[in-house]
Amino acid sequence: MLVLRVLILAALALPALAQARAQAGCGAGHCTALGQGDLQWDASLRLRGMYFDPTRFGIGGGEDGYGLLRALGSATYRRDDWQARVQLGVHAEQGRAGGPGGTDQGALDVQQAYWRWQGQQAWLQLGRQEASYGSSRLLSVRDGPNIRLAFDGLRLGWRAAAGKLDVLALRAVDNRPGAFDDRSEPGAHLWGAYATSAARRSGQWDAYLLDYQRDGARFADGNGRERRQTLGTRWFGQRDALDWNVEAVVQRGHLDTATRQLDIRAWTLASDTGWRWQQAPLQPRLGVKLDIASGDRDAGDGRLQTFNALYPKSSYFSEASLLAPANLVDLQPTLDLQFNERLGTQLGVQLAWKQQRSDAVYTTPAPLLPLPGSTGGARRIGTQYKAETRWQASEDWLWQWQLAWVDAGPALRQAGGRDTLFASIVGAWQW
């Protein structure tokens, strides 16, 4: 079955691999003129091997190693001020204990299919599409898992000298294992607006307001339909050797459980600041990340104070993607080294605590899940050591190696957790 899926996508990509004619306004190699426009073909392949010892810190999981395949092929037709894009994909998993997870495997299906109009200042995009904003803390393409995150809906944008503004009305796609059976997630939506200022020496600003809803939300304080409004701002930039990225978010809303309604009052503060020595050997960058995501103080007070990062990038803290940014205080010094223009590595140490003892430790994947047995008790979650290397071997090939070790703290051990080893290798081809 795995081989069949690869062959199906290869057949879809054959036109892209053929020698195309270079035409006016059409790039060479994978673009051909068609009518009064041009048709561009693209293909990508990613293979990833992953190893955990154990999964979920050993709470309901053991040693596990498996492989993932992602194959995508797309066609984009451009004419004048509009374009239409269709991207198909197949995703496969091999060897995972208990079978594939929700974002591991899917037969041939539509990853993206949208129509886009582009004016001088405004644009409109309708259909199934990927969306990523800011530093992907709240809205990302979720590139780490095998199946990337896509949405059904529309986005409208406006650009001017002062900055840009996007308005969005989206529903996340629910990945299903069959062919052409993916649908919008029932009971879920994401509406809102996202603004970014023009670049200045003092940095740039983002401001956004998002309305989020989903059924079946799960927290230590209760389960049910979640409706959450998120108001946030981000200040980011670079001046000489210094770079910074600071984000503050507040959330309001309610969680409707079977017996009561909880008022949501949550917040987060996240920062990533660094200093790079450009002229030194290896161009080292010394950085520090600090994240505080609120947790629930009292399960009986009628309030839910656990922060929800909505649709965050999976590698929020590391490629191991073990912890979710909820009820968390996180301090992570990092060191980046650039051996040459193609090869770089990052070393980091993450120290993690629960923001509130009374709440749980939350784990990925999104939507976040409370770790069984972790409510109450100790605050210190543990220490994670990581090393992540990226090698752009050629214009088409990218290789990544990731290694992490988690020294489990009292909050994990009281729930039955233990130390965890993670290793991963990724090979990605893009054409």
List the domains of the chain with CATH numbers.
2-430 (2.40.160.100)
pLDDT on residue 2: 46
**How big is the CA angle at 355 (ends 353 and 361), to the nearest 5 degrees?**
65
- 16: helix, coil or strand? helix
Closest to 82 measured CA to CA, from 121, 35, 125: 125
Can you tell me the distance from the alpha carbon of 53 to that of 419, in angstroms, rounded to the nearest whole number? Answer: 8
Token reading at 169: 């009305």
pLDDT on residue 25: 52
Can you tell me the distance from the alpha carbon of 212 to that of 310, in angstroms, rounded to the nearest whole number? Answer: 8
pTM above 0.85, yes or no: yes
Instruction: Establish whether the linkage from the previous residue to 186 is cis, with ω within 30° of 0.
Output: no
Asked if residues 86 and 67 have their Cβ atoms less than 8 Å apart, the reply is: no
H/E stretch holding 279 reads: none
Can you tell me the distance from the alpha carbon of 86 to that of 84, in angstroms, rounded to the nearest whole number? Answer: 7
Main-chain phi, psi angles of 15, to 5 degrees: -60, -35
169-to-111, 121, 213, 235, 362 alpha-carbon distances in Å: 18, 20, 12, 25, 28
pLDDT on residue 202: 94
pLDDT on residue 368: 83
Q: What is the mean pLDDT of each run of 10 residues along the chain (431 residues)?
A: 45 44 50 91 97 94 96 96 97 95 94 97 98 95 94 98 97 93 93 97 97 93 95 98 98 95 97 97 98 94 95 88 94 98 97 97 84 94 98 97 98 97 97 87
Name the DSSP letter for residue 371: P
Can you tell me the distance from the alpha carbon of 300 to that of 298, in angstroms, rounded to the nearest whole number? Answer: 5
